[in-house]
Amino acid sequence: MSSDAANPSARRTELLEAAYRYVLAHGLTSLSLRPLAEAVGSSTRVLMFLFGNKDGLVHALLERARADELELLAGLRADRPAGLAQAADEVWAWLAAPDHRALLRLWAEAYARSLVEPDGPWAGFARATVTDWLDVLAACQPAPERESEEGTLRRTLTLAVLRGALLDLLATDDALRATAAVTSYTASLRSGDAAPE
Amino acid sequence: MSSDAANPSARRTELLEAAYRYVLAHGLTSLSLRPLAEAVGSSTRVLMFLFGNKDGLVHALLERARADELELLAGLRADRPAGLAQAADEVWAWLAAPDHRALLRLWAEAYARSLVEPDGPWAGFARATVTDWLDVLAACQPAPERESEEGTLRRTLTLAVLRGALLDLLATDDALRATAAVTSYTASLRSGDAAPE
DNA sequence: GAGCTACTGACACGAGTGTGTCAGTAGCTC
DNA sequence: GAGCTACTGACACACTCGTGTCAGTAGCTC
């Protein structure tokens, strides 16, 4: 291989970036090396050299996509939203941004695929995203709630609302309706926080 | 073709049923005709004859999967649950049933694929499911709420919770946590119904 | 200039893909 | 038995797939 996966060469990251743009536009399912190589101005030979094989490429692409997601999560951790409600609002603003549509479609694709084919480069993708997000949401909860069973339940529900609304948005492109639903949820979360049940 | 799609031949439905079982086990993404034909005790020639081409087969399979889903929806319409909360509880019981796991994975696959490749046999699959479900949930709402903007928002949120919890369940297989989240949501729905905000 | 590393081009191999062609056969109606 | 419909088997075609092979070349260090 050209270099460690931890310390990729300049050419590798350059081609990975180009391939990432290509995959955002065309999806992962029907990805094949020759059209990709041509689109990024390279050859299958080079892709094989830099990524080992196709699975290596796909794996690298999924990691690249995950990097975008982790950036959002890191941002959330950084400014530590006060409570689940604010965190959910911030996340939704990100999810609903039109610029992120292609990435989120890719995300949905990888998620579904990892459910159906538990092996291969997508292995564990779905499970990893769920736990990643639950962890971040937990970090936004006040400490006492975070540890409680009630807290687990709350962040699970919050994640479900975000994911479900995202699916709706991706399918119908009706940002108004989806956003209204999320907003009403976070509003009820807030009032629930103010007056604990 | 052997007969109308509306009035399929006995052999066609027999093979479709076998193919459906095969696809539930193996997924749609990597479906190819020769292995499928062998598994169902037939030949690619026959599949082509009965379904026209591969897209025809896939389309028929998706319709078949949708029939399972519509059965649940029809059941809901039949006993007309009193309000969204009860409807959501009933739907969740169905979604969480281990027997339905394979079908729901297939559903997720088709949903994601229809987002990424808007053409082909999956065209409109995601959008169709969303509106189908929203319609059924609407039918479970009391008439005045159903027409209101507030009502649209409520069923959108309810659908999001169900879909999001389903994604969680499929990824983590943690039925307890997912079910607790859904239950807490329907509980709050009920109390909200009792004391409208 | 030798030698090393990183990268690249041309080409071929074997397998698998969907689909087309041609020739059937079983069962039914007349 | 003729003729029709529904279905089936054997085989081939053109193509794409991921990958392997062999031979390079540009840039750097010594």
Structure tokens at B84: 């969204």
Residue A77 has pLDDT above 60, yes or no: yes
Q: How many residues are present in chain A?
A: 197
Chain B residues in contact with A163 by the CB 8 A cut-off are 160, 163-164, 167-168
Distance, in Å, from the CA atom of B116 to the CA atom of A102, rounded to the nearest integer, reads: 9
Structure tokens at B56: 């025809």
CA B132 remoteness from chain centre: 10
* Alpha-carbon distance A15 to nearest alpha carbon in chain B (angstroms): 22
**With contact defined as beta carbons under 8 Å apart, do A36 and A22 qualify?**
yes
Any A CB within 8 A of B192 CB:
yes
Provide the pLDDT for residue B195.
44
**Contact state of B157 with A116 under an 8 Å Cβ cutoff:** no
Provide the pLDDT for residue B9.
86
Structure tokens at B47: 């599949």
Please report, rounded to a whole number, the percentage of residues in chain A having pLDDT higher than 70. Answer: 94
User: Rounded to the nearest 10 degrees, how much is the dihedral formed by the CA atoms of A80, A84, A87, A92?
Assistant: 170
Residue B194 has pLDDT above 50, yes or no: no
Any A CB within 8 A of B50 CB:
no
Q: Give the list of residues 6+ apart from residue A125 with CB closer than 8 angstroms, or none.
A: A62, A110, A111, A113, A114
Nucleotide minimizing C1' to CA distance for residue B9:
D6
**Contact state of B115 with A171 under an 8 Å Cβ cutoff:** yes
Residue A192 has pLDDT above 90, yes or no: no
SS3 content of chain A, % helix, strand, coil (to 5): 80, 0, 20
What confidence tens digit (pLDDT) does each residue in A10-54 have? 899 999 999 999 999 999 999 999 999 999 999 999 999 999 999
DSSP H or E stretch at residue A138: helix A125-140
Distance, in Å, from the CA atom of A35 to the CA atom of A151, rounded to the nearest integer, reads: 48
From the list A47, A59, A44, A45, the residue with the least C-alpha distance to A15 is A47
Distance, in Å, from the CA atom of A91 to the CA atom of A93, rounded to the nearest integer, reads: 5
CA A65 remoteness from chain centre: 7
**Contact state of A160 with B153 under an 8 Å Cβ cutoff:** no
Mean pLDDT for chain B? 92
Residue B181 has pLDDT above 90, yes or no: yes
Residue A61 has pLDDT above 90, yes or no: yes
Q: State the pLDDT confidence band at A3, using cuts at 50, 70 and 90.
A: very low
* Alpha-carbon distance A150 to nearest alpha carbon in chain B (angstroms): 9
What confidence tens digit (pLDDT) does each residue in B114-132 have? 999 988 999 999 999 999 9
Chain D: nucleotides under 7 Å from a protein CB? Answer: 6-11, 16-22
Q: State the pLDDT confidence band at B38, using cuts at 50, 70 and 90.
A: very high
What confidence tens digit (pLDDT) does each residue in B22-36 have? 999 999 999 999 999
| A46 CA – D28 C1', rounded, Å | 21
Q: A72 in helix, strand or coil? A: helix
Q: Give the list of residues 6+ apart from residue B30 with CB closer than 8 angstroms, or none.
A: A117
What confidence tens digit (pLDDT) does each residue in A133-190 have? 999 999 999 999 999 999 999 999 999 999 999 999 999 999 999 999 999 999 999 9
Q: State the pLDDT confidence band at B1, using cuts at 50, 70 and 90.
A: very low
Q: What is the 3-state secondary structure (H, E, C) of B92-143?
A: HHHHHCHHHHHHHHHHHHHHHHHHHCCCCCCCCHHHHHHHHHHHHHHHHCCH
Name which of A78-82, A118-122, B28-32, B133-137 the model is least confident about. A78-82
Distance, in Å, from the CA atom of B69 to the CA atom of A192, rounded to the nearest integer, reads: 34
Provide the pLDDT for residue A6.
54
Any A CB within 8 A of B111 CB:
yes
Distance, in Å, from the CA atom of A97 to the CA atom of B75, rounded to the nearest integer, reads: 37
Residue B7 has pLDDT above 70, yes or no: no
What confidence tens digit (pLDDT) does each residue in B58-101 have? 999 999 999 999 999 999 888 777 899 999 999 999 999 999 99
